[in-house]
A and B are shown apart, each in its own frame.
Chain A
């Protein structure tokens, strides 16, 4: 996901391209996002009225302030950051909608949702993206250990090179996985740090990996392990792994 600064650029740099027709569509979309994500009864009221959270309509907010608030949240309050929980088009749209509630008749909305979101994934790549994070797989999904496109837990280092095939994915060399010995127990580990303050490592014995801290000198690491990537991805069949690789090729540039 992009940070707030890139988002701001997307909102404002492209503002000149917006048409009245597009504006109406974006504001309408923003209203839908608002009633779904903001006016939930527990938080802001319908059409920016008061609810559990403050009134937003007719407060004299300017668009930059609204954008900052929505993307970063407000410290020390219940207002969270929506930078990653809303898609970029939804974010632009809801900011525009709240702007209209504050008397800004012609908010900047960029060229519209389709252009703002970049090329959408289709076909095999879209299927692979879904498989990568699919919730019904519990801890057997790729995103248990890998973060791609703003989703997943970054246990492993960012994926830099995409293997050529499902077979290559299964026999993937994992030189960073070592063997840790602690209190008479041996386990496959990914070492995050090992120094005078002690060691921090992921215990890969079972999924999900556990980040563990060890007192200085209490754990010994040695190269090699009995851990295999093929076991971690065993819940996927070859066709599914193929789709996942197609997805990764679409979003990861070497």
Chain B
């Protein structure tokens, strides 16, 4: 009876939230970004600012795969959690207890280049989908974990690319982007039919000869110009548009081979790299684009998450999207037309540009020069890394983990070789000068472009944010603490030492009326995680691959 009443309480909360919160999750956490609007926000409010101090672990799941760490966003549907590890072990777990329902192990690929890692599965059409290190899209039966189909996307040995991102299920298709943006490779987004794995469409980030935009590339540089869209996009069902961020142009730090002579660098150079794009969901046809970093010379991918929301801007209700790239420059666009509505920059230390015009053009570009060393802030690791921000419709704030790192970029002019590293520069990282803290969790209002509060942290923050209707914001730090901040003020209300660093994405869901918060744990020593750790030699952030799940103890709710 008590359970039933609690369930009703949650239902009531949910129904009132439904109208205003199209981007909020409820009992399920169905997609990588929560809903296809990618807010990483739950309408569940059982855990709130008054009781969060009682939050305690209720179950843990040791994946047994300690190759890298646990980065995946868990997907929860009807009380079952679907979790994937770095080396593609997939588990279906009872989301209330952690009991294993089925497990699946993808055969270990041999001799494929690239990093080991996986940021999540997608669930839809009775199937569980994921990408692999050797560049396959795989579909499992959601009930049994049996493999149903798999299809190769590209030869990983040739393209130097693979899949670390979670796929996105849109109606009868499963859509995925790939890595390879720092190599000599031409990025693309590919959609397959969920039913049988057959190709539905492919959209190349870089247009081919005869296609509009190809003229923004010098000679044949479009063939290996990068742009890999290596994370997960969003979807607006009413507009039937898919939104995706694209990667940096390659070579990363040297543009003489890819930019046509005399190009106007204020707009549309090396299309459609470092952009956010709207694609028609059924065909993959480009509807519009907005390039955030024309002629990117700093490895400032725009491959990050795309948040869809409706907000009043200058007196008019607009259907907008909010999108941040690695530089921390955050664009607010009309998601119907792509019209630029505003932008703001989140890092406190910024040397790559001096500012942005009202119509979004970069001012005072500080471009690395061949054979010279230029200190650039933020670093190529990003003012924010791939880990996602969150958005709460209750506060109207974006919650962003921001890092204050710089790098000394020395470009070179090596020739492209297909599938090989094509960054063309050394870029050792360093701490921003004159500071004692090197990261902060911020609350930003995307309409005013103003920061509402900021909570500093001495090292780096590389885990995703989770916002809740209980006016809480959750994330973790490399020292192993998983903590809750008050959404309105940034005050720290609760923390728990999970025993390993945080480089993953926490979620919230409910089973039988009880709200849960689940976080992956385990530091990631490759790429950005490793580079960041090398800046703090006295630190030894712990690896791991454990999911830790919290709830309010029985009787305290």
The distance in angstroms between the C-alpha atoms of A133 and B155, with both chains bound, is: 9
Interface-facing stretch out of B21-29, B452-460, B485-493, B528-536: B528-536
Q: Is A52 an interface residue (CB 8 A)?
A: yes
- CB < 8 Å: which of B68, B197, B418, B525 contacts A210? B197
Given contacts A51-B530, A80-B115, A143-B155, contact A41 B428 (CB under 8 A): yes
The distance in angstroms between the C-alpha atoms of A36 and B429, with both chains bound, is: 17
**Interchain nearest-CB distance for A208 vs B (Å):** 6
Which residues of A57-78 have CB atoms within 8 Å of chain B's CB atoms?
A: 75-78
Q: Is B149 an interface residue (CB 8 A)?
A: yes
- CB < 8 Å: which of B148, B151, B196, B223 contacts A135? B223
Which residues of B393-431 have CB atoms within 8 Å of chain A's CB atoms?
A: 407, 414, 418-421, 423, 425-429
Residue-wise, chain A 37-50 has the 8 Å CB interface mask toward B (1 for contact) of 10111110110001
Q: Assess whether B151 is in contact with A46, with CB atoms less than 8 Å apart.
A: no
Q: Assess whether B110 is in contact with A81, with CB atoms less than 8 Å apart.
A: yes
Q: Assess whether A42 is in contact with B196, with CB atoms less than 8 Å apart.
A: no
Identify the closest chain B residue to A3 (Cβ): B111
The distance in angstroms between the C-alpha atoms of A138 and B284, with both chains bound, is: 15
Residue-wise, chain A 181-215 has the 8 Å CB interface mask toward B (1 for contact) of 00000000000000000000001011111111100
Q: Is B152 an interface residue (CB 8 A)?
A: yes
Q: Assess whether A151 is in contact with B421, with CB atoms less than 8 Å apart.
A: no
The distance in angstroms between the C-alpha atoms of A35 and B410, with both chains bound, is: 12
Interface-facing stretch out of B156-164, B268-276, B305-313, B465-473: B156-164
Q: Is A139 an interface residue (CB 8 A)?
A: yes
Interface-facing stretch out of A17-25, A82-90, A158-166: A82-90
Q: Assess whether B428 is in contact with A78, with CB atoms less than 8 Å apart.
A: no
**Interchain nearest-CB distance for B22 vs A (Å):** 34
Q: Is B369 an interface residue (CB 8 A)?
A: no
Residues of A within 8 A of B182 (CB): 40
Q: Assess whether A208 is in contact with B158, with CB atoms less than 8 Å apart.
A: no
- CB < 8 Å: which of A40, A53, A206 contacts B423? A40
Prevailing SS type, chain A contact patch = loop
Number of interface residues of B (CB under 8 A): 56
Q: Assess whether A41 is in contact with B151, with CB atoms less than 8 Å apart.
A: no
Q: Assess whether B149 is in contact with A211, with CB atoms less than 8 Å apart.
A: yes
Q: Is A16 an interface residue (CB 8 A)?
A: no
Residues of B within 8 A of A39 (CB): 426
Given contacts A80-B113, A84-B111, contact A41 B199 (CB under 8 A): no
Residues of B within 8 A of A143 (CB): 155, 158
Which residues of B500-546 have CB atoms within 8 Å of chain A's CB atoms?
A: 525-531, 533-534
Q: Is A168 an interface residue (CB 8 A)?
A: no
Q: Is A153 an interface residue (CB 8 A)?
A: yes
The distance in angstroms between the C-alpha atoms of A83 and B110, with both chains bound, is: 10
Residue-wise, chain B 93-116 has the 8 Å CB interface mask toward A (1 for contact) of 000000000000000001111111
Residue-wise, chain B 134-161 has the 8 Å CB interface mask toward A (1 for contact) of 0000000000001111111111011110
The distance in angstroms between the C-alpha atoms of A160 and B302, with both chains bound, is: 46
Q: Assess whether B526 is in contact with A41, with CB atoms less than 8 Å apart.
A: no
Q: Assess whether B68 is in contact with A80, with CB atoms less than 8 Å apart.
A: no
**Interchain nearest-CB distance for B42 vs A (Å):** 33
Q: Assess whether B111 is in contact with A81, with CB atoms less than 8 Å apart.
A: yes
Q: Assess whether A213 is in contact with B158, with CB atoms less than 8 Å apart.
A: no
**Interchain nearest-CB distance for B462 vs A (Å):** 12
Residues of A within 8 A of B150 (CB): 210-211
Q: Is A114 an interface residue (CB 8 A)?
A: no
**Interchain nearest-CB distance for A185 vs B (Å):** 8
Q: Assess whether B155 is in contact with A206, with CB atoms less than 8 Å apart.
A: no
Given contacts A37-B420, A80-B114, A209-B151, contact A52 B427 (CB under 8 A): no
Identify the closest chain A residue to B153 (Cβ): A208
Q: Assess whether B155 is in contact with A138, with CB atoms less than 8 Å apart.
A: no
Given contacts A42-B528, A52-B527, A151-B155, contact A36 B414 (CB under 8 A): yes
Identify the closest chain B residue to A200 (Cβ): B147
- CB < 8 Å: which of A1, A133, A203 contacts B197? A203
Q: Which 5 A-B pairs have the closest CB atoms?
A: A78-B526, A52-B530, A210-B197, A85-B113, A52-B531
Q: Give the interface of B toward A (CB within 8 A).
A: 66-68, 110-116, 146-155, 157-160, 182, 185-186, 196-199, 202, 208, 223, 380, 407, 414, 418-421, 423, 425-429, 525-531, 533-534
Other than A41-B380, A51-B428, A51-B534, give 9 A-B pairs with Cβ distance below 8 A: A36-B414, A40-B421, A41-B531, A51-B531, A52-B534, A80-B114, A136-B208, A205-B198, A211-B149
